[in-house]
Chains A and B, each alone.
Chain A
Amino acid sequence: MNGRPESLAKPGSLTKDAPLVRRHRLSTRLWHWSNALVLLVMLMSGLMIFNAHPRLYWGEYGANFDPAWLKISSARIGAREFGYLQIGSWRIETTGVLGLWHDAQGHLQRRAFPYWATLPSRYSLAGARIWHLAFAWLLAGGLTLYLGWSLVNRHLQRDIHMTRREWRPANVWRDIVDHARLRFPAGEASRHYSFLQKLAYAGVLFVALPLMIVTGLAMSPGTDAWAPIITEVFGGRQSARSVHFLCAFALVAFFVVHMVMVLLAGPINEVRAMITGRYRPRPGREDGV
């Protein structure tokens, strides 16, 4: 966000709407869309890699004989076969989606994640690793460039940084209530991120994405030799693998909420702002509308 108002309306044209303002910088827009694509590839190829061993453990080691805290599998009771997801001792049937499903050709498959969620769509651990490990460079490189550039152009300091005033419980609570009532800021206020928005974006930029990269590296036996701390801080390689998976689903949850908020806030205006950079502030009391 630049925050500089700029009227793009033709002189003399009558419009009730507020004029378009510059919102997202080119660096933000470029990274946003390229990162969205990279994350999609990472997620889908990651789910295929998970399919090779659909169990998660805590600690340094973990294989079939060891207790898994999460498991996606299929089982048979009498003539009935079903897919299931098990977390601890809690189990839910997931036939058709997880563990047991039909592929595009109608063949029954007993893999964890279904073909439409994985990359490649047909089972291939080697193929998924080629995608995942090549795109990992784009993810890490893109994030590093974006964070570096956003420090230089002061995007982080101006738009993401949360001041002490914003951290005050009263402000935090008001933002939670506003979000719960789907009451979005209008006028001048709509040109800045709210507290929860900043928290979500900072969480993705400084916690979730770096954690994905670090836990990914923690699974590499080569990296583990020269930087054992990377694995040790998570309590072992299998713990790091679990955190990698949990973090991926935290990002999926972020994506879902992000989509809901874009739809509620006015998808055309929001998407236009992320493509062209121009945003129309929401009309509201402050503008006297």
Chain B
Amino acid sequence: MKGTILTRRALIRGAGSVGGALMLSGCDALFDDPAFRNALEKGEDLHRITQRALGGAALAREYREADMSPQFRANGSRSVADAAYRQHLVQGFANWSLRVDGLVERPLEIPLEALRRLEQRRQITRHDCVEGWSAIGQWQGPRLASVLELARLSPQARYIVFHCADLYRGRPYYESIDLADAFHPQTILAWQMNGRPLEEAHGAPLRLRVERQLGYKHAKFVTRIEAVASLAGTYGGKGGYWEDNGAYAWYAGI
């Protein structure tokens, strides 16, 4: 008889690869199902609630100078194309200022020099990237709380949004945190890293440090801070660039 000879080995291999492919596509299809995906993403709320309940206002670990990474990896946007930003960079940010607005009683334009004159906090902390790597560096700047107290938050304010000068893959980068993290003692607006003014690759002139969360929350090139009652009205509504464009969790404490 002519025809394909199906050996037992080929049959097993065939069945194995069909089974494997079915399982793979099955899991991928399941993940695309909105109800299932939604249920999985509820894990994020569980993490946030548990961590806040157990951790409260606990401080992130701080290290000694000897513990610091010899070289601190820069990730995400490493340069900014915006013309106004390039001009400020050339001028050493001498005429640059940070805008604070939204749900505040006193909107502010704070020059970098004024931020440097506020009470400073210096901390050596570990930066954990969502990808899995870590680097230890020293950061200095005023507490975000000091700046928010100057601007006087309205009672309706629930979140602080950080608008950045960079575009990542053509879209504006932004991030947000809630008031629990905004008023945390280690949450600072760092203008100095490892004893020197921030380099462009690390977010000059100002980057957020929110030490109990992953790297993508630490917005670089911060130009404007906005207090809002809800995240729904900002860009994609999920509270950050990666949250909107990549399904990353808004609460990045884990």
- Which residues of A does B touch, CB under 8 Å? 41, 44, 49-50, 52-53, 55, 60-66, 104, 115-116, 119-122, 124-127, 129-131, 133-134, 136-137, 219-228, 231, 237-238, 241
Q: How far is the CB of A137 from chain B (nearest CB, A)?
A: 6
Q: A121-B24, A130-B37, A241-B132 are in contact. Are A220 and B69 (CB under 8 A)?
A: no
Check B51 against A223 for contact (C-beta < 8 Å): yes
Check B131 against A52 for contact (C-beta < 8 Å): yes
Chain A residues whose C-beta falls within 8 Å of the C-beta of B61 in the assembled complex: 224-225, 228, 231
Known: A63-B133, A134-B42. 18 other contacts (CB 8 A): A50-B132, A53-B132, A60-B134, A61-B126, A64-B133, A121-B24, A121-B27, A126-B242, A129-B248, A129-B249, A134-B39, A134-B40, A134-B43, A219-B132, A221-B213, A222-B55, A226-B54, A228-B61
Q: How far is the CB of A280 from chain B (nearest CB, A)?
A: 27
Check B128 against A65 for contact (C-beta < 8 Å): no
Check A116 against B24 for contact (C-beta < 8 Å): yes
- Which residues of B does A touch, CB under 8 Å? 20-21, 24-25, 27-28, 31, 37, 39-44, 46-47, 51, 54-56, 58-61, 63, 67, 69-73, 126, 128-136, 211-214, 242, 246-249, 253-254
Chain B residues whose C-beta falls within 8 Å of the C-beta of A223 in the assembled complex: 51, 54-55, 253-254
Chain A residues whose C-beta falls within 8 Å of the C-beta of B130 in the assembled complex: 52, 125, 129
Q: A221-B211, A221-B253, A225-B211 are in contact. Are A62 and B55 (CB under 8 A)?
A: no
| 27 A-B pairs whose Cβ atoms sit less than 8 Å apart in the complex | A50-B132, A62-B133, A63-B73, A63-B133, A63-B134, A66-B69, A66-B70, A119-B27, A121-B24, A126-B247, A126-B248, A127-B247, A129-B130, A130-B41, A130-B43, A130-B247, A131-B40, A133-B43, A133-B44, A219-B132, A219-B254, A220-B254, A221-B60, A222-B212, A225-B58, A225-B61, A241-B132
Chain B residues whose C-beta falls within 8 Å of the C-beta of A55 in the assembled complex: 133
The secondary structure that dominates the A interface is helix
Q: Which residue of A is nearest B47, CB measured?
A: A133
CA distance A61 to B249 in the complex (A): 23
Check A221 against B248 for contact (C-beta < 8 Å): no
Q: How far is the CB of A131 from chain B (nearest CB, A)?
A: 7
Chain A residues whose C-beta falls within 8 Å of the C-beta of B129 in the assembled complex: 53, 63
Q: How far is the CB of B210 from chain A (nearest CB, A)?
A: 9
Check A225 against B59 for contact (C-beta < 8 Å): yes
Q: How far is the CB of A238 from chain B (nearest CB, A)?
A: 6
CA distance A226 to B52 in the complex (A): 10
CA distance A241 to B126 in the complex (A): 15
Chain A residues whose C-beta falls within 8 Å of the C-beta of B247 in the assembled complex: 124, 126-127, 130
Chain A residues whose C-beta falls within 8 Å of the C-beta of B212 in the assembled complex: 221-222, 224-225
CA distance A119 to B29 in the complex (A): 11
Chain B residues whose C-beta falls within 8 Å of the C-beta of A224 in the assembled complex: 60-61, 126, 212
